[in-house]
Amino acid sequence: MEIILAKTAGFCFGVNKAVSCAYEQLNNSSGNLYTYGPIIHNEQVVEQLKAKGMRIANNTDDIKGPGSVVIRAHGVSPDVYEEIKAKGVEVIDATCPYVKKIHLLVNEKHKEGYQIIIVGDKNHPEVIGINGWCDNTALIADTPEDVEKISRNKESKPVCVVAQTTITSEKWHTINEYLKKVFENIIKFDTICNATSKRQDEAFQLSQKVDMMLVVGSKNSSNTQKLFEICRRNCSQTFNIETSGDLPPMNTKKIKTVGITAGASTPDWIIKEVLGKMEELNKQENEMSFKEAFENSLVTLQTGQIVKGKIIGFNNAEVYIDMGYKSDGVIPVDEFSDDPDFNPETSLKVGEEVEVFVVRVNDGEGNVVLSKKKVDSIRNWDKMEEAYENKTPVNAKVVEVVKGGVIASAGGVRIFIPASQISDRFVKDLKEFLKQPVTLRITEFNKQKRKIVGSQRVILAEEKSNKINEVWENIEIGRKYSGVVKSLTDFGAFVDIGGVDGLIHISELSWTKIKHPSEVLKIGDKVEVSIQEFDKEKNRISLAYRKNEDNPWFNAEEKFKVGQIVKGKVVRLVPFGAFVEIQDGVDGLVHISQISSVRIGKPSDVLEVGMMVEAKIIEVNLEAKKISLSIKEVAPINPVNVKQEEKEGNSSKAEENTSVPDEVIPTEHKEDMNLNIGELTGNNKKE
């Protein structure tokens, strides 16, 4: 049995620094000595320190002076530092430098106005400490579901994302993909510890090529658990052990290679104990007789048998399997998976264990012909029967369009979906569903005829019904919804707010008068609306769309005050005055008596639509949305002045009409011409 120890197993830099600091204080401290929380997540190290006199303070109330407190590697929030100092004891900061860097970054971005988001476990002491450096205002996401909760209460702040140092790169990238869909203004800092990433990558590679994987470290250690999760994906025989006493029973006749890695909080002496115990097992294995080893290595195969094997190679046409038989097995690619998107390059891994069906023991060239699709089908028929009996949904992918419907594959089991059951809407071309995932209810199951019929329409109808019920159960006046515009009519817009349509009346679409809803919205627009009225019995919902801040009269008391001089455009003339637009959507009335300083017969005597005027606000009635203006108190427009301007304007035009371009007058007649024009216009006076 070969034993392979990962190069990066054991203490990382930050943990080693913290533990060394704790032991150094044991040798130098004269008073009470504490660690704030366990110095690291390893029970054996913590017990050793306690045996030497180190106490653990779970909170600042546990600390009694005089003495000193060693801050754990995970770090703490600023208020903990202050509370400890207030006790009159010395603070020795053993926070991991990588974690300390996150503290400073979070504190800086928080002061700049960013909303901090931490990707990690909200209950982990490192995350709790980081949150303290932004006044405990951080949003914490460990799963896509956490992002969904965050999206419901998001603010318009810019967002800064950091990571718990021990999470996996996969989780970091997954959560960030979900965050990008929710937030627009976002910056991210990949604060996963370099040592953590390297350790995880090495564990991933090692677990791919061994029969058994041992992850040494505390079950309370975050980085140890991440290593365990990574290794278990590649190697089903993965075990998390804390000491050599936790080693699992192992059949050394079948286990040929064992990989060992350890969390960042695992001391060297525990790793050495595990290695020592493994060497003893190796010694016992070597004592096995050659005859017994040879007999155990023999494998017999029969057509129709299901066996396990490992992928040892592949190309675009075939996958090669080692089953421990004298010959390797061959799976044609089209017999490996029923997924139309299956690609050997991206879907297969050398060393991966698979179950296969023996089609022929000898294909004439000594090869064993295998099929993985047959195994998947056999295994999943029982699951399909269970789904049929329990009416549980089945996830599948459409692989073929046939007459009258489509064929979907669920783990190698082919399911027929009639065209009428693929959707809850009319489908003109079934090809739009090809290679698409579908969720089905099994409506017909006949194991003898190998026939399964499914319906996605049933699932969609149930989902729609659930959404409708949810809306009506939670509906209340003023509740806000995100909806989609479904249709427009002359009197308003219908909006889907989750399976239920509500109406935004045309009067609720804009603060200004519009002729048709299409001036504001179009079908497919996403809108924010609130419930204005509803009637459950009649299934009617009236929605509000206009926002108060868009109302032209919003904050009018601050914008329009009596005595204020405003400029505006004449937009309408009536017998009793003129309406002047002083802001988009806000008109003021100039009464006929407030236009001129002299009596006029009608406003059109001195004003016309489109004319720009200055006026004084003489009255404001916000309740009635009325503003009274006076032109005459600023610059009265009198009929005499208007006629004089018109006369002068006509005179100017007359003068212009009497002028003759010089270029059309012959040189010899210019002097006579000037004289005659002067006489006609009266400008040439004789003395």
Q: What is the pLDDT of residues 490-524, one digit of tens each?
A: 999 999 888 788 998 988 887 777 889 998 889 98
Lowest mean pLDDT across 110-124, 236-250, 439-453, 647-661? 647-661
Tell me which residue of 84, 82, 77 sits closest to 137, measured CA to CA: 77
236-239 LR contacts (CB < 8 Å, sep 24+) = 236/353, 237/211, 237/212, 237/213, 238/207, 238/212, 238/213, 238/214, 239/212, 239/213, 239/214, 239/215
Distance of CA 381 to the CA centre of its chain: 36
- The one-letter code for the residue type at 534 is F
Q: In whole angstroms, what is the distance from residue 323 CA to residue 103 CA?
A: 53
- Greater confidence (282 vs 656) lies with 282
Bridge partners, residue 587, by sequence:
581
Lowest mean pLDDT across 214-223, 283-292, 674-683? 674-683
CATH number of 98-192: 3.40.1010.20
- Whether residue 555 is predicted with pLDDT greater than 90 in this model: the reply is no
Q: In whole angstroms, what is the distance from residue 329 CA to residue 343 CA?
A: 19
| Domain chopping of the chain, boundaries | 7-96, 98-192, 303-371, 376-461, 475-550, 556-637, 642-681
pLDDT band at 162 (very low <50, low <70, confident <90, very high): very high
Counted residue by residue, the chain has a size of: 687
668 secondary structure, DSSP code: G
> Prior bond to 340 cis, omega within 30?
no
- Whether residue 683 is predicted with pLDDT greater than 70 in this model: the reply is no
Q: What does each C-alpha distance from 232 to 208, 212, 215, 458 come to in angstroms?
A: 10, 10, 10, 37
7-96: in CATH 3.10.450.50: no
Q: Is 508 helix (H, G, I), strand (E, B) or coil?
A: helix
Q: What does each C-alpha distance from 300 to 347, 420, 440 come to in angstroms?
A: 29, 49, 41
Tell me which residue of 70, 84, 11 sits closest to 37, measured CA to CA: 70
Q: In whole angstroms, what is the distance from residue 435 CA to residue 340 CA?
A: 7
Tell me which residue of 219, 269, 266 sits closest to 239, measured CA to CA: 219
The pLDDT assigned to 675 comes to 34
| CATH T-level assignment (fold) for domain 475-550 | OB fold (Dihydrolipoamide Acetyltransferase, E2P) (2.40.50)
Choices 2.60.260.20, 1.10.150.20, 2.40.50.140, 3.30.70.2860: CATH for 556-637: 2.40.50.140
Q: Which residue has the tokens 């659930």?
A: 466
143-157, 201-215, 352-366, 466-480 — most confident range: 201-215
CA contacts within 13 A on the Cβ side of 377: 20
Retrieve residue 207's tokens. 């677990």
CATH number of 376-461: 2.40.50.140
Q: In whole angstroms, what is the distance from residue 645 CA to residue 283 CA?
A: 119
134-143, 286-295, 442-451, 459-468 — most confident range: 134-143
Bridge partners, residue 569, by sequence:
581, 612
- Whether residue 657 is predicted with pLDDT greater than 60 in this model: the reply is no
Which pLDDT tens digit goes with each residue over 395-454?
999 999 999 999 998 877 889 999 999 998 888 899 999 989 999 999 999 887 889 999
Q: In whole angstroms, what is the distance from residue 107 CA to residue 116 CA?
A: 9
Directed axis angle between helix 43-51 and helix 13-28, to 10°?
Answer: 10
Q: In whole angstroms, what is the distance from residue 106 CA to residue 141 CA?
A: 16
Instruction: For the chain, give the mean pLDDT.
Output: 83
Provide the pairing of β-strand 159-163 with 115-119: parallel
Q: Taking the chain, what is the end-to-end CA distance rounded to the nearest angstrom?
A: 135
Per CATH, 7-96 and 303-371 having the same topology is answered no
CA contacts within 13 A on the Cβ side of 88: 4
- Whether residue 292 is predicted with pLDDT greater than 60 in this model: the reply is no
114 secondary structure, DSSP code: P
Tell me which residue of 26, 18, 14 sits closest to 55, measured CA to CA: 26
Bridge partners, residue 428, by sequence:
none
Q: Which residue has the tokens 């159960």?
A: 473
- Whether residue 531 is predicted with pLDDT greater than 80 in this model: the reply is yes
The pLDDT assigned to 686 comes to 35
Q: Is 120 left (phi over 0), alpha (psi -120 to 50) or beta?
A: left
Helix residue ranges, H only, 287-372: 290-297, 344-347
Retrieve residue 89's tokens. 């004891």
Distance of CA 509 to the CA centre of its chain: 30
246-255, 334-343, 520-529, 659-668 — most confident range: 520-529
Sign of CA dihedral 56, 61, 67, 68: positive
The pLDDT assigned to 550 comes to 65
- Greater confidence (250 vs 286) lies with 250
Just list the catalytic residues: 126
The pLDDT assigned to 46 comes to 86
Tell me which residue of 301, 214, 222, 291 sits closest to 258, measured CA to CA: 214
Q: In whole angstroms, what is the distance from residue 491 CA to residue 504 CA?
A: 9
Q: In the sheet that 55-57 helps form, which strands lie side by side, from edge to edge?
A: 55-57, 32-36, 67-71, 90-93
332-346, 586-600, 665-679 — most confident range: 586-600
336 in Cβ contact with 412 (< 8 Å) = no
- Whether residue 581 is predicted with pLDDT greater than 50 in this model: the reply is yes
Q: What does each C-alpha distance from 481 to 152, 155, 363 come to in angstroms?
A: 11, 16, 64
Q: Is 521 left (phi over 0), alpha (psi -120 to 50) or beta?
A: beta
Q: Which residue has the tokens 């005179």?
A: 651
- The one-letter code for the residue type at 651 is S
586 in Cβ contact with 610 (< 8 Å) = no
Bridge partners, residue 485, by sequence:
495
247 secondary structure, DSSP code: P
Tell me which residue of 200, 202, 209, 247 sits closest to 227, measured CA to CA: 200
Tell me which residue of 245, 237, 238 sits closest to 273, measured CA to CA: 245
Q: CB 100: neighbour CB atoms within 10 A? A: 16
Q: In the sheet that 257-262 helps form, which strands lie side by side, from edge to edge?
A: 2-5, 257-262, 212-216, 238-241
Mean per-residue pLDDT, 374-390: 86
CATH number of 303-371: 2.40.50.140
Retrieve residue 384's tokens. 């399909």
The pLDDT assigned to 548 comes to 65
* DSSP-derived secondary structure for 462-504: HHHHHHHHHHHHH--TT-EEEEEEEEEETTEEEEESSS-EEEE
- Whether residue 42 is predicted with pLDDT greater than 90 in this model: the reply is no
Q: What are phi and psi of 187, to 5 degrees?
A: -120, 150
Provide the pairing of β-strand 492-496 with 501-505: antiparallel
Q: What does each C-alpha distance from 399 to 410, 420, 425, 536, 602 come to in angstroms?
A: 10, 17, 21, 43, 80
Q: CB 39: neighbour CB atoms within 10 A? A: 25
Mean per-residue pLDDT, 362-367: 72
Provide the pairing of β-strand 451-455 with 437-446: antiparallel
The pLDDT assigned to 511 comes to 76
CA contacts within 13 A on the Cβ side of 136: 6
